[in-house]
Amino acid sequence: MRLKRPEELPRALEGGLAPVYLITGDEPLLVQEAADAVRAAARGAGVDEREVFHVESGFDWGALLESAGSLSLFASRRLLEVRLASAAVGTEGAKALTTWAEGADGTDVMLVTGPRLDARAQKAKWVTTLERCGVFLPVWPVELGELPRWLAGRLRRAGVAVDEEGLALLASRVEGNLLAAAQTVERLALVPRAEPWSAAELLDVLDDDARYTPFELADRMLAGDAEHAHRILATLRQEGTEPLALVGILARELRQLQGIRAARDAGEPVDAVLGRLRVIRRRQGLVRRAVDRLPPPMLEGALRDLAVVDQAVKGLVALDPWDELDRLVLRLAGVRTTPLGVRARTWLDA
């Protein structure tokens, strides 16, 4: 049986344990929580032993089958966890997993977790066998458009009430980082509160433990406050912030400005555009001014520069990503700097 979403797993588990579960994906939080749900259901069904196998290069698949075929020390049911480091299990691994699934008698349960399987990998015999004999849950990243819905469901389950503007703020803050979103919800759940959180109240709470945040960097950049933006970026660098996180946040801001300007130029009222994009009231004036101040060619060039910064972080371009981020932020804040493209060189050209 194949499940389409992690939310379908609890109901499937209520119907009884399957012999084998295959959970794959590149969203660590969702994969971990799905695996935790299987573990909890197994414990509830009397599966009180657990063996974990970390499959890396050189793993002995024969040892897995030997262990799986041996009697439990305490004659009890076992949960056999197979953690794949790679989506490629090889001929020996495919045979071992297929053999176990086809011979499962319902005593033990196998839980296989691993990275995302592409369309071709999902057609492999070992995958289709595990799907036929048990449950296959491919976990996909939560798209930005789906993030508010996902976040609202998580808040509801945690007993946290947030108004519509507060939800939009939280969705923009976590920027697709589900682990950060989960931690934020857990933190809010610890605060006894009867009334829904507003955006302004959330800002006070979320900014309490951080002097500067990437979102404040984006705000100062859009406001044209070059000195403050430069200082925030330097602090974030000292604190060990990942530059790729900044690339994602800044790119989102620039694309949003492009969308607002294009809609405005097409005749749509700016207020309607800001409402449709769920820009919180506190930022609407800032965003309006940035749309007026930054021309489309500058936004397009800045997005191209961010793509090069992304390559620099990955070692594909001979540039310092932090220096380039600083130049880019200053340029967007109104300071004249040399365009990145003039200096960019690949390692092959160096």
Q: In which band, very low, low, confident or very high, does the pLDDT at 8 lie, cut at 50, 70 and 90?
A: very high
Are 238 and 204 in contact by the 8 Å Cβ rule? The answer is no
Per residue in 295-318, pLDDT tens? Answer: 999 999 999 999 999 898 888 888
Backbone conformation region of residue 224, classed left if phi is above 0, alpha if psi is from -120 to 50, else beta: left
H-helix or E-strand spanning residue 92: helix 90-103
pLDDT band at 27 (very low <50, low <70, confident <90, very high): confident
Tokens at 275, concatenated? 């409402």
Q: What is the dihedral of CA 67, 71, 74, 76, to 10 degrees?
A: 90
DSSP class of 163: -
Tell me the residue length of the chain. Answer: 350
pTM above 0.85, yes or no: no
Helix (H) or strand (E) holding 112: strand 109-114
Residue 79 tokens read as 């949960």
> Residue 106 region, left (φ>0) first, then alpha (ψ -120 to 50), else beta?
left
Pick the range with the lowest mean pLDDT from 27-31, 177-181, 223-227, 273-277. Answer: 177-181
pLDDT digits 0-9 by tens, 194-232? 889 988 888 777 765 445 678 888 888 999 989 889 988
